Amino acid sequence: MEFPILSALTYLPLVGALIIICIPRERDEAIKATAASTSALCLALAILAWLAFDNGVGGFQLEERAEWIPQLGISYHMGVDGISMPMVFLTCLVSLVAIAYSWIVKERVKEYFALFLLLQTACVGVFVALDFFLFYIFWEISLVPMYFIIGVWGGPKREYAAIKFFLYTLVGSVLMLLGIIVLYFASGDSPAERTFDIVELIARQPATSLAPGLAMAVFIGFFIAFAIKVPSFPFHTWLPDAHVEAPTAGSVILAGILLKLGSYGMVRINMPLMPEEWMVAAPWIGVLALISIIYGSLAAMAQSDLKKLIAYSSIGHMGFVTLGLAAMNVQGISGAVLQMFSHGLITSCLFLLVGVIYERAHIREINGFGGLGQIMPKYFGVFIFVAMASLGLPALSGFVAELYVLLGTYASGSALETSTEGFAVLMSPWFAYTAIIGIVLTAAYMLWTVQRVFMGEKNERWAGLKDINSLELACLAPLMALTLFVGCYPGPLLRPIEAATMHILGALFGT
SS in 3 state form for 313-363? HHHHHHHHHHHHHHHCCHHHHHHHHHHHHHHHHHHHHHHHHHHHHHHHHCC
- The Cβ of residue 344 has, within 10 Å, a number of other Cβ atoms equal to 26
Outline where 102-237 has alpha helix (H): 109-128, 132-141, 143-153, 158-186, 198-204, 212-229
Does residue 500 sit in helix, strand or coil?
helix
pLDDT in tens, 321-337: 999 998 888 888 999 99
Q: Which residues is 365 bridged to in the sheet?
A: 305
The domain of 396 spans 280-511
- The Cβ of residue 123 has, within 10 Å, a number of other Cβ atoms equal to 32
pLDDT in the model for residue 421: 41
**Rounded distance, CA 155 to CA 22, Å?**
29
Residue 238 in any domain: the answer is no
Residue 204 in any domain: the answer is no
Residue 318 in any domain: the answer is yes
pLDDT in the model for residue 425: 38
pLDDT in the model for residue 420: 42
pLDDT in the model for residue 123: 94
When divided into structural domains, the chain yields a total of 1
pLDDT in the model for residue 276: 86
Asked if residues 19 and 33 have their Cβ atoms less than 8 Å apart, the reply is no
**Rounded distance, CA 265 to CA 322, Å?**
11
Residue 344 in any domain: the answer is yes
pLDDT in tens, 39-52: 999 999 999 999 99
Cα within 13 Å of Cα(165), Cβ side: 32
Asked if residues 452 and 367 have their Cβ atoms less than 8 Å apart, the reply is yes
Amino acid at 269: I
Residue 496 in any domain: the answer is yes
**Rounded distance, CA 476 to CA 471, Å?**
9
**pTM for the whole structure:** 0.92
Residue 341 in any domain: the answer is yes
What residues of the chain score a pLDDT lower than 70? 1, 413-428, 507-511
What's the burial of 410, exposed, middle or buried (CB within 10 Å: 0-12/13-18/19+)? Answer: buried
pLDDT in the model for residue 508: 67
Residue 454 in any domain: the answer is yes
Residue 155 in any domain: the answer is no
Asked if residues 53 and 460 have their Cβ atoms less than 8 Å apart, the reply is no
pLDDT in the model for residue 418: 44
